[in-house]
Amino acid sequence: MPYVWHDTAPEESGAVCFQLKLWPHRSLSRQGFVWVIGLTAGGLALPLLALLGSAVVWGLLPFALLAVWGLWQGIARSYGTPHEVMWLSRDRLELLRSDPGRPDRTWRTNPYWVRVGLRPGGPVEDYLVLTDGQREVELGAFLSPEERVALRDELERRLAGLRR
């Protein structure tokens, strides 16, 4: 799943504090990125090897380098996708959403009043929202519907544990 929970309170303190990190699916891992760039560079270098020693290689080399650079930039830019971080403790819930090219957005509230809900008619299927009675924010819009349902269940369980 493209989200993970961390227990951020020290063991001996007895405090309850969680951190939730969410990110969209990435079809290409960092190791896969290295392989794609390496195979592309190698594949473009093979025809150039046959032309070594001739002036034609200098005419084709800039285009091969430009193709590798363009692929590198395109994939690297896709790693700057939106992500969300939520800190949850007994007295504070803070949600930080980071989108590329936009300032970060933060929502702070008391977790006692927070309710978690799924809306079937939102912008995405099973739209996951958090509300404190005054304001409503979305959570994990980039997750799949099944992941949003699972996240809602986990979040409700952790909020209920904090209210005890």
Shared domain check, 90 and 74:
no
Shared domain check, 70 and 124:
no
Shared domain check, 73 and 19:
no
Shared domain check, 68 and 101:
no
| H or E element in which residue 161 lies | helix 145-163
Shared domain check, 91 and 11:
yes
Instruction: Please report how the helices 30-50 and 56-78 are oriented relative to each other, as an axis angle in degrees rounded to 10.
Output: 170
Instruction: Determine which of 9-13, 39-43, 101-105 has the lowest per-residue pLDDT on average.
Output: 9-13
Mean of all residue pLDDT scores within the chain: 88
**How confident is residue 68, by pLDDT bands cut at 50, 70 and 90?**
very high
Euclidean distance between CA atoms 114 and 137, whole angstroms:
11
Euclidean distance between CA atoms 116 and 119, whole angstroms:
10
> Total domain count for the chain?
2
Please state, in angstroms and as integers, the Cα–Cα distance from residue 26 to each residue in 42, 80, 83, 120, following that order. Answer: 24, 11, 12, 25
**How confident is residue 15, by pLDDT bands cut at 50, 70 and 90?**
low
Shared domain check, 47 and 96:
no
Shared domain check, 159 and 120:
yes
The residue segments making up the domain with residue 113 are 3-25+85-163
Shared domain check, 154 and 99:
yes
Residue 150 pLDDT:
92
Shared domain check, 18 and 65:
no
Exposure letters 72-110 (e unless 16+ CB within 10 A, then b) = eeeeeeeeeeebbbbbbbeeebebebeeeeeeeeebebe
Share of the chain above pLDDT 70, in %: 95
Euclidean distance between CA atoms 67 and 59, whole angstroms:
14
**Digit-coded pLDDT (tens) for 78-129:** 777 788 999 998 889 999 999 888 899 999 999 999 999 998 877 778 889 9
Residue 14 in this model has a pLDDT that exceeds 60: no
Shared domain check, 125 and 105:
yes
Q: Domain holding 143: CATH number?
A: 2.30.29
Shared domain check, 155 and 106:
yes
Shared domain check, 154 and 100:
yes
DSSP strand pairing (17-22 vs 83-89): antiparallel
Residue 81, amino acid: T
Residue 12 in this model has a pLDDT that exceeds 80: no
